[in-house]
Homo-oligomer: A and B are copies of this chain.
Amino acid sequence: MNEFELIRTLTAGLPGNDTVVVGPGDDCAVIESPGGGAQLLFKTDAVVEGIHFTMETEPEKVGHKALGRCLSDVAAMGGSATSALVTVGLPRDREVAWLKEVYRGMGELAARHGVSIVGGETTETSGPLFLSVAMLGEVPRGKAVLRRGGRAGDAIFVSGELGGSLAGRHLKFEPRLREGRWLAETFDVHALIDLSDGLASDLRHLLNAGGVGAELMAGSIPISRAARLQGRGESSRKPPLLAALTDGEDYELLFTVAPDDAVAVLDGWKRVFPDVPLTCVGKITEAKGVRIRDEHGVRNLEAHGYTHFK
């Protein structure tokens, strides 16, 4: 059972109420706000020492990553982040100075995106340190962009460059909040997700529960320098393209728009975000499944993305 199946099993049959616009299964939950108007985005995520970072990771980067992952999920709804709460599970021997640096990393990232950190809890743990972040955001009423909206013919875009994130980027990525908000405000974005498990895996969430498929163009996948470098190392023989498709932890935006909008999206993006690459990597197809096309032809692409439970 992978993480998605597990969550689906666990959340089936749980109570809802009339404030719920989007429940489990998207990047954030969407909730009606009491006064009407903009809707609320609600998200929680945890990082654990030994899984998402190590004892050697600089503490301010631990804080950056913990907060950044939630911010990336808000970006993937086309929303703005407003407030965060932090719960720390703290081993007894951890020094307060270390934890202060974690908070400094969170605080700097929060300040850049106008997010307030409105509280924290600490609890003891006999195990590895964990940081759980809860995030509140908002999005104009009815404008949250969900995952499962890809339509046959849509152009598929990805921001940034993919692969090799564990070489360093996973600890210092800048969540694409401005980009996500701009996209949602400016275009009719059909489907939007942030890349956490890798393009080959996360792309499947856009396919309307399997109602449509996708075809990627191998030559168009933006491969990061880190993915190219790690391909050269002796310890890894993962080809750079495969790394870009499956490494995960990219925290880039993946989205689809109608083919008629594709040029306007590319032109507008280059004007507004000249420093962030945006690449059309393929299209949504009526034919189901995910395929990749290169100079040798078309092959099926499996989801080798990192899944948390196998």
**Chain A interface (Cβ < 8 Å from any Cβ of B):** 1, 3, 6-7, 9-11, 13-17, 19-20, 22-25, 28-29, 31, 33-40, 42-48, 50-52, 82-83, 85-87, 89-90, 96, 99-100, 103, 106-107, 110-111, 114-128, 130, 132, 134, 136, 138, 308-309
Contact = CB atoms under 8 A, between A and B. Distances in A.
Given A34-B37, A83-B29, A132-B132, A14 B48 contact: no
Given A29-B83, A120-B11, A1 B35 contact: no
A46 B6 contact: no
Given A19-B116, A33-B35, A40-B33, A48 B123 contact: yes
B87 A10 contact: no
A209 to B, nearest CB: 18
Nearest to A7: B120
A275 to B, nearest CB: 24
B111 A15 contact: yes
Nearest to A124: B51
12 contacts: A10-B99, A11-B119, A15-B107, A24-B118, A29-B118, A33-B34, A35-B37, A43-B85, A44-B44, A44-B119, A90-B309, A125-B130
A46 B3 CA distance: 20
Contacts of A43: 85, 119
B124 A127 contact: no
B17 A82 contact: yes
A65 B25 CA distance: 24
A143 to B, nearest CB: 12
B115 A15 contact: yes
A77 to B, nearest CB: 12
A90 B309 CA distance: 10
Contact of A44 (B7, B114, B116, B121): B121
A117 B11 contact: yes
Contacts of A33: 33-35, 37, 40
Contacts of A103: 10-11, 14
A86 B126 CA distance: 21
Nearest to A50: B126
A116 B132 CA distance: 20
Contacts of A17: 82-83, 114-116
Given A110-B15, A132-B46, A34 B121 contact: no
Contacts of A124: 48, 51, 308-309
A134 B44 contact: yes
Contacts of A125: 48, 50-51, 127-128, 130
